């Protein structure tokens, strides 16, 4: 169980000298690694079409993606660990996307942003040039529907990815949703009735 | 497109286009196959072998000076109601010398239409001489028409695709184009399968 600082309490910890407890933090190496990873996701700028506008808006001042540690957009795959594929992926681009994904160091994550990268979107049926889903080319961690998704939705997708990263080390986070996410307020901040 | 009778200006033939047709008929009596001079998009259809002479005349005639090839497009007719299957190539021309109005809306307002020159080509072997040396701006339009419609432009050094990858199968805006099962390992579900 994490305490209120999110730090893991090891069984048997209470046997330690109380003075020692105040100066020493006991935790798991995997937990610290994942903690670092989830707070320093460096996205690779992969804007392919209109969805990229929302991605840029998310990174800009109003929505400030830096609050979640994911605002350092890199122009090189070698410096990034998160690929936000935002836009329409054409068949001509697909091999390049695959190659750039392969150049990213492990561990690496992919967010499929928008209807186009999830399944072809408006071009799915007759767009001969559009790949019908980026998951045909690279594995996807989080699917983010919308045409385009709002910046809030992209922030939510990044939070989901952060939960996912931390989940791997077997930890639950204090603010991690249990089961289906429950939002008691509507868009205007008013309480919505349960009925 | 609106019916010609809906538009207050459409009923009259455009004077510059009428002048162009007159000049064409005087210089190349056999070239003109068909023409419609009214509406916001008047067109003149010429024989494919007269295309280059037509274009030169339209560009160089001091009263016309069609100095800009605005767009080249093509229309596929795999099963026309009359005649053989054919592909029409359409050249949209603008004269910024005679009519310096640039915006399309303003042109429509003042009844300053573009002029379309059409040629009809057999569908099995659509080949037309290039107009690259007449309007240098025709270069990308010819490449695009080749890329998407498969019309060969002869007489130019090379005709690479412009948008699709070099190994793309076929020309996808042809009406009988078939979706490939996959491209470079990425499967494609054709429209019927969805
Ligand atoms: S999903 Fe919509 S907004 Fe996003 S790239 Fe496709 S068409 Fe544009």
- Is residue B5 in a domain? no
pTM value? 0.76
A18-76 confidence digits (pLDDT tens): 777 677 776 777 778 888 888 888 999 888 999 999 999 999 999 988 888 888 888 88
Number of domains into which chain B is organized: 1
Ligand 1 pocket residue status of A150, Cβ below 6 Å: no
- Is residue B180 in a domain? no
Report the atom number in ligand 1 closest to the C-alpha of A54: 3
What percent of chain A stands above pLDDT 70? 75
Atom 5, ligand 1: residue with shortest CA distance: A87
Q: How confident is the model at residue A125 (pLDDT cuts 50, 70, 90)?
A: confident
- Is residue B184 in a domain? no
Which residues are CB-contacts of A46 (< 8 A; sequence separation ≥ 6)? A83, A84, A85, A86, A87, A97, A100
Domain that holds residue B101: 15-169
Report the atom number in ligand 1 closest to the C-alpha of A51: 4
Is the CB of A92 less than 8 angstroms away from the CB of B184?
no
- Is residue B27 in a domain? yes
CATH, residue B75: 3.30.460.80
Provide the H-helix boundaries in B29-103: 51-60
Chain A residues inside the 8 Å CB shell of B189: 132
pLDDT of residue B131: 93
- Is residue B175 in a domain? no
Is the CB of A136 less than 8 angstroms away from the CB of B184?
no
pLDDT at A181 over 80: no
How many angstroms does the Cα of residue A130 sit away from the middle of ligand 1?
12
The answer to whether the CB of B48 falls within 8 A of the CB of B87 is no
pLDDT of residue B185: 87
pLDDT of residue B44: 92
- Is residue B83 in a domain? yes
Task: Report the residue count for chain B.
Answer: 194
In chain B, which residues have pLDDT < 70? 1-12, 101-104, 107-112, 193-194
Is the CB of B194 less than 8 angstroms away from the CB of A125?
yes
pLDDT at A136 over 70: yes
pLDDT of residue A15: 61
pLDDT of residue B15: 78
Nearest to A124 among B163, B187, B194 (CB): B194
pLDDT at A173 over 60: no
pLDDT at A141 over 60: yes
- Is residue B164 in a domain? yes
- Is residue B151 in a domain? yes
Tell me if chain B has a CB within 8 Å of the CB of A98.
Answer: no
Ligand 1 pocket residue status of A120, Cβ below 6 Å: no
């Amino acid at each position: 169980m994490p305490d209120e600082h999110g730090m893991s309490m090891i069984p048997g910890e209470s046997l330690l000298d109380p003075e020692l407890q105040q100066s020493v933090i006991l935790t798991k190496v995997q937990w610290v690694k994942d903690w670092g990873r989830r707070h320093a996701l460096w996205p690779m700028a992969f804007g392919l079409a209109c969805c990229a506008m929302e991605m840029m808006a998310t990174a800009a001042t109003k929505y400030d993606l830096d609050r979640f540690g994911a605002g350092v957009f890199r122009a090189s795959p070698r410096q990034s660990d998160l690929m936000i594929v935002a836009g329409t992926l054409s068949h001509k681009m697909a091999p390049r996307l695959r190659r750039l994904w392969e150049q990213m160091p492990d561990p690496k994550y992919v967010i499929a942003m928008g209807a186009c990268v999830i399944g072809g979107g408006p071009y799915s049926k007759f767009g001969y040039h559009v790949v019908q889903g980026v998951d045909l080319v690279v594995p996807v961690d989080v699917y983010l529907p919308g045409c385009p998704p709002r910046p809030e939705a992209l922030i939510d997708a990044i939070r989901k990815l952060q939960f996912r990263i931390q989940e791997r080390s077997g930890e639950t986070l204090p603010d991690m949703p249990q089961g289906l996410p429950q939002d008691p307020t509507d868009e205007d901040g008013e309480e919505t009735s349960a009925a | 497109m609106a019916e010609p009778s809906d538009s207050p200006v459409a009923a009259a033939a455009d004077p510059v286009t009428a002048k162009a047709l007159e000049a064409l008929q005087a210089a190349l009596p056999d070239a003109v196959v068909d023409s419609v001079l009214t509406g916001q998009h008047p067109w003149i259809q010429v024989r494919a072998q007269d295309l280059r002479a037509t274009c030169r005349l339209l560009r160089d005639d001091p009263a016309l000076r069609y100095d800009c090839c605005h767009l080249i497009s093509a229309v596929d007719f795999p099963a026309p109601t009359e005649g053989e299957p054919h592909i029409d190539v359409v050249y949209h021309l603008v004269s910024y010398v005679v009519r310096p109005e640039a915006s399309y809306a303003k042109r429509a307002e003042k009844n300053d239409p573009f002029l379309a020159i059409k040629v009809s080509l057999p569908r099995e072997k659509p080949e037309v001489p290039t107009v690259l040396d007449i309007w240098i701006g025709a270069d990308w339009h010819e490449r695009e028409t080749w890329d998407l419609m498969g019309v060969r432009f002869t007489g130019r050094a090379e005709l690479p695709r412009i948008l699709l990858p070099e190994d793309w199968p076929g020309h996808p805006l042809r009406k009988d184009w078939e979706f490939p099962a996959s491209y470079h390992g990425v499967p494609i579900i054709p429209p019927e399968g969805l």
